[in-house]
């Protein structure tokens, strides 16, 4: 038990422990880094250590506080219950009046982007005004244990005009509370928020570290562990939840789409494929685009250096090598640019299939 279980980013762990030991706690922390790299896990561990009855700069995992905060390990059931309580089709006012707050200990709150509905989540879940107002009020309450900790996951989804509510808390911080914001990169947050947070950037783990974790926590075979670790690009959280078969299917379909664009086969020819891809709800759109980028990068590298290049999609190496000779640097630049445009429109609730069709049409080699 304790911080020793956290793998990777040792310097961040050491810095947090020094703060805990000195008793000089920051009012706001900003954890940035790729999805699944351990930002949330370390934030939860920090909340345990800040309230542990036994240890000053670590957590025992056994005292009342440690155990009840450990209930935040799996947010799925808590989220499900909170959404159920609000009803299946809440209106906008209800969503704000009953803010989504996940907790298993009175001093530790987790905020996640609000998907509004249980079964048909909105396309772009976001942190809501009601959630921020609730934090603003609760931050000044005296803690039951030692410290109130508010973890805001997906802080980048906060609207910038709402973010000003936050500034008030950050400008007159209560002594007994710490806010921990989690986001992929600092520049997704207002500069005024960034500058009031102590920032820590989480680096990806090595393939070997991820493999080791998979060995401890999953029943995967060695070859599967290796592949999952490679595909996850240093994020144990991604590797742990990866469905290898499904992932290979999706990436093969994306590669077919890339081939179609290379051959200039946009339109009716590719509609079946984009329809199929847009139905794969399990892969979030954001994730789908990540896979798309990784395939384009592999093709670019293989087209420049067919023998070298360690590809990001080793299980598709043969297929990638077949397509790579037809790829040019100019084409990849154009296709990537079109993908960036698609990505930028995500927030506006665009239709997946139309977005993919538009990409094929715009990237079709002429
Ligand atoms: Zn404890």
Residue 284 has pLDDT above 80, yes or no: no
253 alpha carbon to ligand 1 midpoint, in Å?
48
Task: Assign 114 to helix, strand or coil.
Answer: strand
Residues in the chain: 366
d(CA 323, CA 318): 9
Give a yes or no: residue 233 inside a domain.
no
What are the residues whose beta carbon lies below 5 Å from ligand 1 (ion)? 52, 54, 59-60, 63, 66
pLDDT bracket for residue 112 (50, 70, 90)? very high
Predicted local confidence at residue 347, as pLDDT: 66
Give a yes or no: residue 211 inside a domain.
no
d(CA 358, CA 29): 40
Q: pLDDT tens across 18-76, in order?
A: 999 999 988 999 999 999 999 999 999 999 999 999 999 999 999 999 999 999 999 99
Q: How many domains, in total, are found in the chain?
A: 2
59 alpha carbon to ligand 1 midpoint, in Å?
5
Q: Residues 264, 332: one domain? A: yes
Q: Of the residues 151, 186, 203, which one is the last residue of a structural domain? A: 203
Which residues are registered as beta bridge partners of 150?
Answer: 109, 179
Among positive and negative, which fits the CA dihedral 10, 13, 17, 23? positive
Neighbours of 325 (CB within 10 A): 10
For residue 150, the surrounding DSSP H or E stretch is: strand 148-152
Residue 366 has pLDDT above 70, yes or no: no
What CATH number corresponds to the domain at position 318? Answer: 1.20.272.10
70 alpha carbon to ligand 1 midpoint, in Å?
10
Q: Which segment of 53-57, 222-226, 282-286, 357-361 scores lowest on mean pLDDT? A: 282-286
Predicted local confidence at residue 283, as pLDDT: 64
pLDDT bracket for residue 207 (50, 70, 90)? very high
65 alpha carbon to ligand 1 midpoint, in Å?
6
Q: How far is CA 99 from CA 43, 114, 161, 190, 204, in A?
A: 21, 8, 18, 22, 33
d(CA 90, CA 92): 7
What CATH number corresponds to the domain at position 75? Answer: 3.40.50.300
Give a yes or no: residue 234 inside a domain.
no
Q: Residues 316, 268: one domain? A: yes
Q: Of the residues 203, 224, 255, which one is the last residue of a structural domain? A: 203
216 alpha carbon to ligand 1 midpoint, in Å?
23
Neighbours of 282 (CB within 10 A): 10
Ramachandran bin of 92, using left for φ above 0, alpha for ψ from -120 to 50, beta for the remaining angles: alpha
Predicted local confidence at residue 253, as pLDDT: 93
26 alpha carbon to ligand 1 midpoint, in Å?
21
Q: Rounded mean pLDDT of the chain?
A: 91
Dig out the tokens for 202 from the structure. 């989480």
- Residue recorded with tokens 């240093």: 234
Which residues are registered as beta bridge partners of 151?
Answer: 110, 180
Q: Residues 39, 101: one domain? A: yes
For residue 104, the surrounding DSSP H or E stretch is: strand 102-105
Q: pLDDT tens across 114-134, in order?
A: 999 888 878 788 999 999 999
Q: How far is CA 308 from CA 94, 299, 305, 326, 328, in A?
A: 56, 12, 6, 18, 17
193 alpha carbon to ligand 1 midpoint, in Å?
31
Dig out the tokens for 131 from the structure. 């959630």
d(CA 147, CA 177): 6
Q: Residues 118, 262: one domain? A: no
20 alpha carbon to ligand 1 midpoint, in Å?
14
Residues 6+ apart with CB under 8 A from 328: 303
d(CA 135, CA 108): 11
47 alpha carbon to ligand 1 midpoint, in Å?
10
Q: Residues 37, 128: one domain? A: yes
Residue 309 has pLDDT above 90, yes or no: no
169 alpha carbon to ligand 1 midpoint, in Å?
28
Q: Residues 146, 285: one domain? A: no
132 alpha carbon to ligand 1 midpoint, in Å?
28
211 alpha carbon to ligand 1 midpoint, in Å?
29
Q: How far is CA 101 from CA 33, 88, 329, in A?
A: 23, 17, 47
151 alpha carbon to ligand 1 midpoint, in Å?
19
Q: Which residue segment(s) compose the domain that 54 sits in? A: 3-203
């Amino acid at each position: 038990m304790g911080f020793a279980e956290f793998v990777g980013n040792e310097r961040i762990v050491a810095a947090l422990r020094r703060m805990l030991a000195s008793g000089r706690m920051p009012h706001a922390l900003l954890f940035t880094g790729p999805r699944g790299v351990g930002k949330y896990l370390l934030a939860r561990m920090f909340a345990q250590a800040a309230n542990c009855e036994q240890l000053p700069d670590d957590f025992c995992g056994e005292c009342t506080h440690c155990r009840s905060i450990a209930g935040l390990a799996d947010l799925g059931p808590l989220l499900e219950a909170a959404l159920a309580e609000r009803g299946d089709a809440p209106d906008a006012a209800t969503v704000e009046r009953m803010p989504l707050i996940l907790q298993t200990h009175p001093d530790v709150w987790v905020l996640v982007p609000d998907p509004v509905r249980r079964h048909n989540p909105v396309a772009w879940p976001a942190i809501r005004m009601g959630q921020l107002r609730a934090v603003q009020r609760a931050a000044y309450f005296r803690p039951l244990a030692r410290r109130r900790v508010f973890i805001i996951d997906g802080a980048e989804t906060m609207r910038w005009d709402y973010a000003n509510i936050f500034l008030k808390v950050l400008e007159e911080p209560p002594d007994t509370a710490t806010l921990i914001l989690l986001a992929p990169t600092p520049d997704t947050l207002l500069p005024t928020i960034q500058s009031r947070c102590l920032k820590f950037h989480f680096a990806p783990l090595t393939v070997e570290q991820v493999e080791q974790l998979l060995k401890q926590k999953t029943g995967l075979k060695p070859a599967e562990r290796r592949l999952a670790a490679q595909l996850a690009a240093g994020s144990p959280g991604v590797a742990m939840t990866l469905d290898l078969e499904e992932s290979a299917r999706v990436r093969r379909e994306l590669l077919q789409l890339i081939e179609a664009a290379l051959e200039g086969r946009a339109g009716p020819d590719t509609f079946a494929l984009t329809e199929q891809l847009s139905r794969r709800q399990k892969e979030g759109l954001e994730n789908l685009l990540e896979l798309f980028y990784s395939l384009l990068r592999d093709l670019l590298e293989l087209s420049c250096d067919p023998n070298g290049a360690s590809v990001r999609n080793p299980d598709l190496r043969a297929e990638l090598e077949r397509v790579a000779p037809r790829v040019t640097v100019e084409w990849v630049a154009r296709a990537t640019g079109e993908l960036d445009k698609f990505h930028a429109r995500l927030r506006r609730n665009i239709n997946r299939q139309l977005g993919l069709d538009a990409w094929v049409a715009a990237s079709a080699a002429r």
